[in-house]
């Protein structure tokens, strides 16, 4: 073979290889998903996270033509399920529901996982905490309640909504900090969740709770409690009579429990893009909106980049609150 022929052959081979490589990513994205996809949920069946994951999975299956099978991986205060998502193969066939706890667990020393351990795909939901009091409470507004808390000795007022160091505990701590008060100005009474805390509130065992208004809804509608404000940038249209802290007190503080979809780190960009686009279709669908609205769950959209920024901001916020409450081991 002559030098010219060899050069021509080499150039031709390189061009074919480059062409194949250039076409590989679109082809891989076009073929995805070619088999069933596992959707890991770090919390138990029947809860709000599980319910949200199942409607998302059902609508993804309808759009993408492959089964999206929800698997509950519980334990370790969310560590087990979040670890299962982070350590799966980054091929798009294992994705999962990331929850607010991923911005909390590493501060508690439970895991080394952080929001940066994942490929963020989409933020789908956020439920801010409300400030609930018994219906018999003398405080008609959150401002009246806040003034009473400021005037009282630390620990006189008692609150609950979840376990020690849970999202609703940290919401209370953040509110106290926003008012310039010590993190322990209101004593926290650990509970096994919002439902028992609301029952305790209705029975007169607590002065307030800081769980989400949807979780408090049954007790409120039974006339045993009332919500004075929510820690959110805007009112919840389902509970439109409940003002925000900024409206009621001029305090620009917001937080909440959230849910989004993520995948293992280093997911191929073309698959990530396809999944984010499919999740946006899910979010915009009437089926998803109706499902969430009927349960009082808040809906908020964030694409991959927005979700990443959202988690980073929340991670810093949770760290500040945990350190103030003496709960951080990081």
- Give pLDDT tens digits for 154-190: 999 999 998 888 899 999 999 999 999 999 999 999 9
Q: What is the pLDDT of residue 231?
A: 96
Q: What is the pLDDT of residue 52?
A: 94
- What are the structure tokens assigned to 273, written together? 């893009």
Dist. CA 172–CA 159, nearest whole Å? 8
- What are the structure tokens assigned to 236, written together? 């919840």
Half-sphere CA count of 322, side-chain side, radius 13 A: 22
**Spans of the chain, pLDDT less than 50:** 2-23
Residue with tokens 């029952």: 199
Q: What is the pLDDT of residue 28?
A: 62
The angle formed by the CA atoms of residues 154, 226 and 151, to the nearest 5 degrees, is 25
Phi, psi torsion values for 233, nearest 5 degrees: -70, -25
Q: What is the pLDDT of residue 251?
A: 94
DSSP letters for 22-35: HHHHHHHHHH--SS
The angle formed by the CA atoms of residues 70, 74 and 77, to the nearest 5 degrees, is 135
Q: 138, 188, 183, 141: which is closest to 163 by C-alpha?
A: 188
pLDDT tens digit sequence for 99-132 = 999 999 999 999 999 999 999 999 999 999 999 9
Q: What is the pLDDT of residue 306?
A: 98
Q: What totals of helices (H) and strands (E) does the chain contain, helices first?
A: 11, 11
Dist. CA 258–CA 300, nearest whole Å? 9
pTM, to two decimals: 0.80
């Amino acid at each position: 073979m002559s030098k010219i022929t060899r050069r021509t052959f080499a150039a031709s081979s390189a061009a074919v290889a480059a062409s194949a490589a250039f076409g590989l990513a679109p082809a891989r994205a076009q073929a995805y998903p070619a088999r069933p996809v596992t959707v890991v949920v770090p919390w138990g069946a029947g809860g709000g996270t599980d319910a949200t994951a199942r409607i998302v999975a059902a609508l993804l299956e309808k759009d993408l033509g492959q089964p999206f099978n929800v698997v509950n991986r519980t334990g370790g205060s969310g560590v087990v399920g979040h670890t299962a998502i982070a350590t799966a193969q980054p091929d798009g066939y294992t994705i999962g529901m990331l929850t607010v706890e991923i911005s909390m667990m590493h501060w508690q020393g439970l895991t080394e996982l952080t929001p940066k351990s994942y490929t963020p795909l989409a933020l789908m939901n956020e439920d801010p905490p409300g400030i609930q009091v018994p219906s018999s409470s003398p405080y008609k507004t959150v401002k009246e309640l806040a003034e009473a808390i400021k005037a009282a000795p630390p620990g006189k007022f008692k609150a609950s909504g979840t376990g020690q160091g849970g999202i609703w505990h940290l919401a209370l701590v953040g509110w106290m900090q926003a008012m310039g008060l010590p993190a322990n100005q209101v004593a926290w009474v650990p509970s096994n969740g919002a439902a028992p805390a609301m029952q305790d509130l209705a029975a007169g065992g607590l002065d307030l709770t800081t769980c989400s208004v949807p979780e408090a809804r049954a007790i409120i509608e039974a006339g045993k409690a009332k919500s004075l404000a929510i820690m959110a940038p805007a009112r919840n249209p389902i509970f439109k009579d409940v003002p925000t802290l900024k409206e009621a007190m001029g305090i620009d503080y917001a937080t909440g429990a959230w849910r989004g979809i993520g995948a293992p780190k280093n997911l191929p960009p073309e698959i990530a893009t396809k999944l984010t686009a499919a999740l946006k279709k899910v979010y915009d669908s009437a089926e998803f909106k109706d499902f969430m609205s009927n349960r009082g769950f808040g809906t908020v959209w964030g694409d991959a980049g927005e979700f990443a920024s959202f988690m980073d901001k929340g991670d810093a916020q949770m760290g500040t609150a945990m350190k103030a409450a003496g709960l951080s081991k990081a």
